[in-house]
């Protein structure tokens, strides 16, 4: 067997092994995923830094949407969650007369997590109030669940119902645009993303974030049409709009990785790691990218960085199995 054939054979063995253990991980029960000894606390305030009492908070583990925790802020606007596993969690904050919001938070079990400050924008009389009853916000939760299950028509219908009750919450239109994008209706999706960008210009609290999300959404539309240059232009604008947002950079990397754009994925995962070097997820994805590029030394380097930050858990066990193979 010549060297070129041997290299290809070894690469195929590695990829086959990776595919096998990935399937095993996906098929395993996530009953323990997301549970651990981590804890995180914070405060919810308005734009003038005054604490908000009675804010309903929901914390959902990104790898297992069935694992959720609820809390309500006290008179000082404070909240806390305990028993958390390592990984990304989605925090949703809802309160009467305030714009609801969702933000992604990374939780570590190995170090003290920094205090989280959540700022909520109060709705003025001019903008109207919001319907904040439990049944209404359940529409949002069901819509998100339908989206994750790729039931895009069902998700859109739920988002539309929510929007009809809360027409001033323009942010939900990004989720509606995402559905159109995933259905392949790119022109419709881009039209909605652009409308969000226009509305975001007058939003001092969330406008920057919503603009960045919409620009990334447009970039994804072009990428799905194999219009790489246009996609890159919009992803670049998205990052420039929010240069310190490691999650945005990471998500753009995920988009390219899922579309086999390895070199571009590499760039954005590296950016996410640069913005937040203590976050293990970018190193994990960099390891996978280099593995797909058949660059085992670089894959090992990044997997080792990941393990220094996250030495235990299901993901660490998976990475150790991969390293046992590619280090041989």
- Judge whether residue 24 has pLDDT over 60: no
Q: What is the mean pLDDT of residues 35-59?
A: 89
Give the model's pLDDT for residue 6.
Answer: 41
Name, in order, each residue with C-beta under 8 angstroms of 161's C-beta and a sequence gap of 6 or more: 139
Query: Which residue do the tokens 């066990």 mark?
Result: 317
Q: Is residue 313 part of a domain?
A: yes
- Judge whether residue 194 has pLDDT over 60: yes
Q: Is residue 219 part of a domain?
A: no
**Cβ atoms of residues 276 and 243 within 8 Å:** no
Give the model's pLDDT for residue 33.
Answer: 54
Give the model's pLDDT for residue 133.
Answer: 64
Give the model's pLDDT for residue 51.
Answer: 94
**Cβ atoms of residues 256 and 220 within 8 Å:** no
**Cβ atoms of residues 115 and 41 within 8 Å:** yes
Alpha-carbon gap, residue 94 to 162, rounded angstroms:
14
Q: What is the mean pLDDT of residues 208-236?
A: 91
Q: Is residue 224 part of a domain?
A: no
Q: Mean pLDDT lowest for which of 46-60, 113-127, 136-150, 186-200?
A: 113-127
**Cβ atoms of residues 45 and 77 within 8 Å:** yes
DSSP labels for 299-326? Answer: HHHHHHHHHHH--SSHHHHHHHHHHHHH
Say which CATH number the domain at 297 has. 1.25.40.10
- Judge whether residue 103 has pLDDT over 90: no
Alpha-carbon gap, residue 59 to 113, rounded angstroms:
15
Alpha-carbon gap, residue 232 to 199, rounded angstroms:
24
**Cβ atoms of residues 208 and 195 within 8 Å:** no
Give the model's pLDDT for residue 149.
Answer: 86
- Judge whether residue 102 has pLDDT over 90: no
Phi, psi of 243 (to 5 degrees): -70, -20
Residue 74 — very low, low, confident or very high, per pLDDT cuts 50/70/90? very high
Q: Is residue 163 part of a domain?
A: no
Name, in order, each residue with C-beta under 8 angstroms of 210's C-beta and a sequence gap of 6 or more: 170, 171, 174, 196, 197, 199, 200, 203
**Cβ atoms of residues 107 and 89 within 8 Å:** yes
Give the model's pLDDT for residue 99.
Answer: 75
Q: Is residue 326 part of a domain?
A: yes
**Cα–Cα distances in Å, from 91 out to 130, 132, 188?**
19, 17, 29
Q: What is the mean pLDDT of residues 31-54?
A: 82
Domain boundary among 86, 105, 122: 122
DSSP labels for 56-81? Answer: EEEEEETTEEEEEEEEE--TT-EEEE
Give the model's pLDDT for residue 15.
Answer: 43
Say which CATH number the domain at 98 has. 2.60.40.1120
DSSP 33: T
Domain boundary among 65, 100, 122: 122
Q: Is residue 144 part of a domain?
A: no
Residue 271 — very low, low, confident or very high, per pLDDT cuts 50/70/90? very high
Alpha-carbon gap, residue 134 to 289, rounded angstroms:
42
Helix axes 262-275, 228-241, angle to 10 degrees: 10
Domain boundary among 122, 150, 170: 122
Q: Is residue 26 part of a domain?
A: no
Q: Is 122 helix (H, G, I), strand (E, B) or coil?
A: strand
How many domains is the chain built from? 2
- Round the average pLDDT of the chain to a whole number and report it: 82
Give the model's pLDDT for residue 320.
Answer: 93
Q: What torsion, rounded to 10 degrees, do the Cα atoms 146, 149, 153, 155 define?
A: 20
pLDDT tens track for 146-189: 888 899 999 999 999 988 888 888 888 999 999 999 999 999 99
Give the model's pLDDT for residue 7.
Answer: 39
Q: Is residue 44 part of a domain?
A: yes
Q: What is the mean pLDDT of residues 197-218?
A: 89
Boundaries of domain holding 49: 35-122
* Token duo for residue 301: 């380097």
- Judge whether residue 326 has pLDDT over 70: yes
**Cβ atoms of residues 132 and 96 within 8 Å:** yes
Q: Mean pLDDT lowest for which of 35-44, 215-224, 299-308?
A: 35-44
Number of H helices, E strands in the chain: 12, 7
Q: Mean pLDDT lowest for which of 78-82, 153-157, 267-271, 278-282?
A: 278-282
Give the model's pLDDT for residue 130.
Answer: 60
**Reduced 3-state DSSP string for 152-205:** HHHHHHHHHHHHHHCCCCCCHHHHHHHHHHHCCCHHHHHHHHHHHHHHHCCCCC
């Amino acid at each position: 067997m010549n060297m070129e054939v041997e290299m290809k054979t070894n690469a195929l063995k590695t990829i086959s092994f990776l595919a096998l253990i990935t399937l095993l991980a996906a098929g395993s029960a996530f009953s323990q995923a997301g549970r651990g000894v981590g804890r995180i606390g914070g405060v919810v305030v308005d734009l003038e830094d005054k604490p908000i009492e009675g804010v309903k908070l929901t914390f959902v583990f990104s790898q297992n949407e069935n694992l959720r925790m609820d809390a309500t802020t006290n008179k000082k606007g404070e909240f806390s969650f305990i028993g958390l596993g390592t990984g990304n969690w989605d925090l949703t904050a809802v309160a009467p007369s305030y714009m609801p919001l969702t933000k992604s938070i990374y939780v570590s079990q190995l170090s003290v997590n920094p205090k989280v400050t959540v700022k909520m924008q109060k709705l003025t009389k001019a903008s109207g109030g919001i319907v904040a009853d439990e049944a209404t916000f359940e529409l949002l939760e069901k819509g998100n669940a339908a989206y994750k299950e790729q039931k895009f028509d069902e998700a859109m219908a739920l988002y539309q119902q929510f929007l009809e009750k809360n027409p001033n919450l323009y942010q939900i239109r990004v989720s509606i645009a995402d559905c159109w994008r995933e259905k392949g209706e790119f022109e419709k999706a881009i039209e909605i993303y652009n409308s969000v960008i226009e509305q975001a210009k007058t939003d001092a609290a969330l406008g920057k974030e919503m603009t960045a999300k919409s620009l990334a959404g447009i970039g994804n539309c072009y990428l799905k049409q194999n219009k790489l240059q246009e996609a890159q232009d919009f992803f670049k604008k998205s990052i420039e709009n929010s240069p310190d947002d490691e999650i945005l950079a990471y998500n753009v990397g995920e988009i390219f990785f899922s579309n086999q754009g390895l070199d571009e994925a590499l760039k954005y995962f590296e950016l996410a790691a640069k913005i937040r070097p203590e976050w293990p997820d970018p190193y994990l994805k960099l390891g996978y990218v280099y593995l797909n590029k058949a660059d085992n030394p670089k894959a090992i380097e990044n997997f080792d960085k990941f393990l220094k930050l996250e030495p235990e858990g299901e993901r660490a066990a998976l990475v150790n199995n991969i390293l046992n193979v590619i280090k041989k």
